[in-house]
């Protein structure tokens, strides 16, 4: 419900010029990928792209679907293990990734079916339970999860017969995937479905009586958002050639949530900005590692209390503060 109100405060500005923004983002990313030469910067750039993909999936579930799901890291891990499993059995890169997306989508469908009557907080709890189960199960030794949840030697991504071995090469693959997903988000938000989604978020019962397919819409946002999470997990696994259960713990779960809230629920660009923040800030403040959690916590509080529409909405909020005679837009 808050999500709806926050999303509603998205200014018209960000609805216009979407394609131009996307082009600028791609160009900027491409320029920075060409100018950075050190290994760690290229690595961080790719990490930003992968986290953006996962955060965008979470954005679909949380901001568009209005459901608070803790299961996105579970989906990433599931996607990663699935792709590693098929890779070991001799399936090619695209087949592996496709399998990962299908498996996570099916898993999300099953979870959402089990939890279909669980509302709000209960849905959050149910998905949190799924994540905790995942952490334990993935940490065991099995043919699917390797030794104690660690699998090494996963094949490099192969696109159009070309093996992408370096960070710089993988960059283009990740950029293409992210750009496609952002385009998809733009189109969904411009379609009539966006209005149905707002209705479902804001007044579930009322929209049910008006014939909006509430359950189907919720299911769709959750399944697609989770599948995108699985895709991100699969990509990160092939890129790094390694998967470990520790990289998909609760910290990343809170991190993803932080990315979406911090960037701003009002717009899908918020997920990208939040991911950039999440990747860059620990690097810039590398001497202050142990204070990072405090910083995140305080930031989260400040954002949610003062700038509920996130970094991207900060300008809006400030501008609106100047127009105090407009009570309807006060942050709620």
Partner 1 sequence: MDTFVALAFSAAAYGAVLALAALGFLVLYKATGVVNFAHGDLITTGGYVALWFITDLGSTPVVGYVLAVTTMGLIGAGLERVAYAPLRRRPHLTVLIATLAAALVIRALISLWQGSTPQRLPSPVDGAVVTVFGTPIAGQRILIIVVAFVCIAGVIALFGYSGFGRQLRALASDREAAELYGVRTGRISLTAWGLSASLAALAGILVAPLSSLDLNFGFTIMLAAFAAAVLGGFGNLWGVLLGASLIGVIQYLIGGYVLHDYAAILPYVAMLAILGLRPQGLLGQTAVRL
Candidates 122, 163, 191, 319: give the one binding partner 1 (CB under 8 A): 122
Q: Choose one: 110-118, 166-174, 179-187, 215-223; the region binding partner 1 (CB under 8 A).
A: 110-118
Q: Is 114 in the site for partner 1 (CB under 8 A)?
A: yes
Q: Does 209 bind partner 1 (CB under 8 A)?
A: no
Q: Which of 35, 121, 143, 323 is the binder for partner 1 (CB under 8 A)?
A: 121
Whether 242 and 41 have beta carbons less than 8 Å apart is answered as: no
Q: Does 293 bind partner 1 (CB under 8 A)?
A: yes
Position 305 contacts partner 1 (CB under 8 A): yes
15 lines the binding site for partner 1 (CB under 8 A): no
Query: Distance (Å, rounded) from C-alpha 261 to C-alpha 311?
Result: 9
Q: Binding partner 1 by CB under 8 A: which of 91, 102, 129, 184?
A: 129
Closer to partner 1 at the Cβ: 175 or 317? 317
CA dist 129 and 233 (Å) reads: 20
User: Which distant-in-sequence residues (6+ apart) come within 8 Å of 84 by Cβ?
Assistant: 146, 151, 154, 237, 243
Does 194 sit near partner 1 (CB under 8 A)? Answer: no
C-beta separation of 77 from 55 below 8 A: no
CB nearer to partner 1: give 99 or 115. 115
* Residue 294 interacting with partner 1 (CB under 8 A): yes
Measured from the CB of residue 220, what is the shortest distance to partner 1 in angstroms? 20
Site string for partner 1, 252-291 (x = CB under 8 A): --x--x---x----------------------------xx
Alpha helices by DSSP H, the chain = 2-8, 18-35, 39-59, 72-88, 93-114, 120-139, 167-190, 192-202, 204-209, 214-240, 250-263, 269-284, 292-306, 310-322
126 binds partner 1 (CB under 8 A): yes
- H/E element, 152: strand 150-152
Rule CB under 8 A: say whether 133 interacts with partner 1. yes
Applying the rule CB under 8 A, the residues between 239 and 258 that interact with partner 1 are 250, 254, 257
Per-residue x/- track, 140-179, partner 1 (CB under 8 A): x---------------------------------------
Q: How far is the CB of 254 from partner 1 (least distance, A)?
A: 7
Which range binds partner 1 by CB under 8 A, 32-40, 132-140, 171-179, 213-221? 132-140
Binding of partner 1 by 328 (CB under 8 A): no
Answer whether 95's CB lies under 8 Å from 86's CB: yes
Among the listed ranges 75-83, 172-180, 231-239, 300-308, the one in contact with partner 1 (CB under 8 A) is 300-308
Rounded-to-integer distance, Cα 267 and Cα 236, Å: 25
Phi, psi (deg, nearest 5) at residue 115? -95, 20
DSSP-assigned letters across all residues of 70-104: STHHHHHHHHHHHHHHHHHTT--HHHHHHHHHHHH
Query: According to the binding rule CB under 8 A, does residue 5 interact with partner 1?
Result: yes
215 belongs to the binding site for partner 1 (CB under 8 A) = no
**Residues ≥6 apart with Cβ < 8 Å to 3:** 62, 63, 66, 201, 265
For residue 20, the minimal CB distance to partner 1 (Å) is 32
Q: Please say whether the dihedral angle defined by the alpha carbons of residues 73, 76, 82 and 86, taken in this order, is positive or negative.
A: negative
Binding site for partner 1 (CB under 8 A): 1-3, 5, 68, 114-122, 125-126, 128-130, 132-133, 136-137, 140, 205, 250, 254, 257, 261, 290-294, 296-298, 300-301, 304-305, 308, 332
């Amino acid at each position: 419900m808050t999500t709806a109100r926050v999303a509603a405060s998205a200014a018209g500005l960000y609805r216009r010029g979407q394609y131009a923004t996307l082009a600028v983002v791609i160009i900027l990313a491409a320029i920075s990928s060409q100018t950075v030469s050190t290994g760690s910067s290229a690595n961080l750039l790719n990490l930003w792209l992968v986290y953006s993909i996962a955060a965008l999936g979470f954005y679909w579930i949380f901001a568009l679907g209005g459901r608070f799901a803790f299961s996105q890291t579970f989906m990433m891990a599931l996607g990663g293990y699935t792709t590693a499993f098929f890779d070991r059995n001799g399936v090619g890169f695209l087949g592996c990734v496709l399998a990962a997306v299908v498996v996570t989508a099916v898993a999300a469908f099953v979870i959402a079916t089990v939890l279909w009557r669980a509302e709000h907080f209960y849905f959050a709890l149910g998905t949190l339970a799924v994540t905790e189960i995942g952490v334990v199960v993935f940490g065991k030794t099995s043919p699917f999860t390797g030794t104690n949840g660690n699998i090494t030697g996963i094949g490099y991504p192969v696109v159009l017969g070309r093996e992408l071995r370096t960070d710089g090469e993988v960059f283009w693959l990740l950029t293409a995937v992210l750009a496609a997903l952002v385009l998809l988000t733009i189109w969904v938000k411009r379609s009539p479905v966006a209005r149905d989604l707002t209705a479902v978020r804001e007044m579930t019962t009322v929209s049910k009586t008006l014939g909006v397919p509430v359950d189907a819409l919720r299911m769709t946002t959750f399944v697609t958002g989770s599948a995108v999470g699985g895709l991100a997990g699969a990509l990160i696994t092939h890129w790094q050639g390694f998967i470990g259960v520790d990289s998909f713990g609760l910290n990343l779960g809170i991190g993803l949530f932080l990315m979406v809230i911090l960037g701003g629920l009002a717009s899908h660009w918020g997920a990208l900005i939040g991911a950039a923040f999440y990747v860059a800030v620990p690097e810039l403040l590398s001497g202050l590692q142990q204070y990072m959690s405090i910083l995140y916590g305080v930031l989260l509080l400040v954002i949610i209390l003062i700038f509920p529409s996130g970094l991207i909405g900060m300008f809006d909020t400030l501008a609106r503060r100047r127009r105090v005679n407009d009570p309807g837009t006060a942050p709620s």
